[in-house]
Amino acid sequence: MTDEHEITPWNVSDTFQEAQYERVATEFGAKIIDEPLKYEIKELAGDLHRFIQYGIFFAHRDLDLLLDGYRKGRKFYLYTGRGPSGKMHLGHLIPFIFTKWLQERFNVDLVIQITDDEKFIFRDSSREDLDRFTRENIVDILSLGFKPEKTHVLIDTKNSGLLYNYGIQVAKHITASTVKSVFGLKDSDNIGKFFFTSIQSVPAFIVSAITGHNVPCLIPYAIDQDPHFKISRDILPKLGYDKPASIISKFIPSLKGTGKMSSSDENSGIYLDDENRTIKKKLMKYAFSGGRDTMEEQRKFGANPDVDFAFNTYRMLEPDVATASKIYNEYKSGQILSGEMKMIAYEKIVDFFEALNSRRDSVSKNMEDYMFSPDRFL
Ligand code: TRP
């Protein structure tokens, strides 16, 4: 049995471990991405993204049905999001890297919800800070190279009219006791927390609502967001919309080891605005290593790359799976030492950041082109 509320969008218990992902996903009612489904994705997308090969995106809800429809000519749209509670680190971008791949391979629209309202309700952030992080986070995300024509950034407080009108339809079907049991909320929690999940549901049917016909929706998210979409899937059919499908990821391990990368500890992750020397220092000093204590032992016994922050970060950013697997073997067998592994990761990260930075100016200047507007769907 899952401990009660082991994983909710606002809390992940410290005892949560890698080995528990599959159990938790299955208990939530999601399915594991199995070989036939991988084959299907590969057929339709042209290849299988490395994050699926590595088991980072590992579970789903109705992805098989959605792809069946796609095969028959039924286009879907993608929906994902970000709560702008602070600066972004590398781990935050991982789902967006994957989403961009999906968007390109399936040539579909993408709605990105920025839940500044959520972070106002759940955190101590001021509206000023949230506005700043909202803008900065959007630039960070879009600098991955999203195409403006098919990308729709929906900032909650800026689209409040639309979200409220659709949100109340969802809210009408959710009881306080459901919210309490699904999210672990208490009577003493503010009432904004109770309402918020309705707002996170809206983008899962917003394209259908605007266009007047059902457009299937696929939502990539980390497993802690699953409770929201479990609720959406119960309610949307009552409003005449399809249940959204989902593709679900594990958490990206923090610099210091497993568990969710926390946004409150500066040394828990590599921030997108970290200078090169800070990145190097964080890797050298804080990054959890799967290597041995001494060079002799490392040469003799090799490392455990699976738990190694530097290796995992490198692997996520290396598009060539064969190259990454060569590094894996060399690190595991002791040919590569921990410090060397950290330098390999360092170079990958610096290259990745340079590519992001090269797009920032043009993204900032053209931000308006990416913003959500109903008439872009009509
Ligand atoms: N609640 C999410 C967060 O705190 C943001 C979010 C909104 C989201 N809609 C989403 C994430 C859809 C994934 C998919 O980060």
* Nearest residue to 168 via CA among 134, 209, 211: 209
If one compares 6 and 324, the residue with the highest pLDDT of the two is: 324
Q: Which residues form ligand 1's pocket by a CB distance below 6 Å? A: 9, 79-83, 113, 115, 118, 200, 219, 221, 225
* CB-CB contact of 140 with 93 (8 Å): yes
> How high is the mean pLDDT of the chain?
94
Q: What is the pLDDT of residue 317?
A: 98
Write out pLDDT tens, residues 277-296: 999 999 999 999 999 999 99
Helix (H) or strand (E) holding 133: helix 127-142
Q: What is the pLDDT of residue 11?
A: 77
| Ligand 1 centroid – CA 224 distance (Å) | 9
Considering only CA atoms, which residue is closest to atom 7 of ligand 1?
81
* CB-CB contact of 378 with 210 (8 Å): yes
If one compares 332 and 10, the residue with the highest pLDDT of the two is: 332
| Beta strand pairing call for 77-82 and 217-222 | parallel
- pLDDT band at 268, cuts 50/70/90? confident
The whole-angstrom separation of Cα 254 and Cα 310 is 11
| Ligand 1 centroid – CA 331 distance (Å) | 35
115: left (phi over 0), alpha (psi -120 to 50) or beta: beta
- pLDDT band at 2, cuts 50/70/90? very low
| Ligand 1 centroid – CA 337 distance (Å) | 38
DSSP sequence for 136-148: HHHHHHHTTT--G
Considering only CA atoms, which residue is closest to atom 3 of ligand 1?
83
- Residue 252: partners with Cβ closer than 8 Å, 6 or more residues away: 56, 90, 91, 94, 261, 316
Q: What is the pLDDT of residue 1?
A: 42
Residue 14 above 50 pLDDT? yes
Residue 183 above 70 pLDDT? yes
The whole-angstrom separation of Cα 196 and Cα 122 is 10
Considering only CA atoms, which residue is closest to atom 10 of ligand 1?
81
Single-letter amino acid, residue 199:
I
Name the residue of 80, 119, 249 whose CB sits within 8 Å of the most ligand 1 atoms, as the mutation to test its pocket.
80
Considering only CA atoms, which residue is closest to atom 4 of ligand 1?
83
- pLDDT band at 3, cuts 50/70/90? low
Max intra-chain CA distance, the chain:
67
Counting beta carbons within 10 angstroms of the beta carbon of residue 237, is it exposed (0 to 12), middle (13 to 18) or buried (19 or more)?
exposed
Domains of the chain plus CATH, in order, are 7-250 (3.40.50.620), 266-362 (1.10.240.10)
- The secondary structure of residue 236, as a DSSP letter, is G
- Give the three-class secondary structure for 8: strand
Considering only CA atoms, which residue is closest to atom 14 of ligand 1?
80
Query: Taking the C-alpha atoms of 128, 129, 131 and 135 in order, what is their torsion angle to the nearest 10 degrees?
Result: 140
| Ligand 1 centroid – CA 113 distance (Å) | 7
| Ligand 1 centroid – CA 81 distance (Å) | 4
- Give the three-class secondary structure for 296: helix
User: String of b and e for 191-222 (b: at least 16 CB within 10 Å)?
Assistant: eebbbbbbbbbbbbbbbbbbeeeebbbbbbbb
Name the residue of 12, 57, 82, 130 whose CB sits within 8 Å of the most ligand 1 atoms, as the mutation to test its pocket.
82
Instruction: Work out the average pLDDT over 78-104.
Output: 97
Considering only CA atoms, which residue is closest to atom 12 of ligand 1?
80
If one compares 36 and 266, the residue with the highest pLDDT of the two is: 36
Name the residue of 154, 193, 228, 252 whose CB sits within 8 Å of the most ligand 1 atoms, as the mutation to test its pocket.
228
Write out pLDDT tens, residues 114-145: 999 999 999 999 999 999 999 999 999 999 99
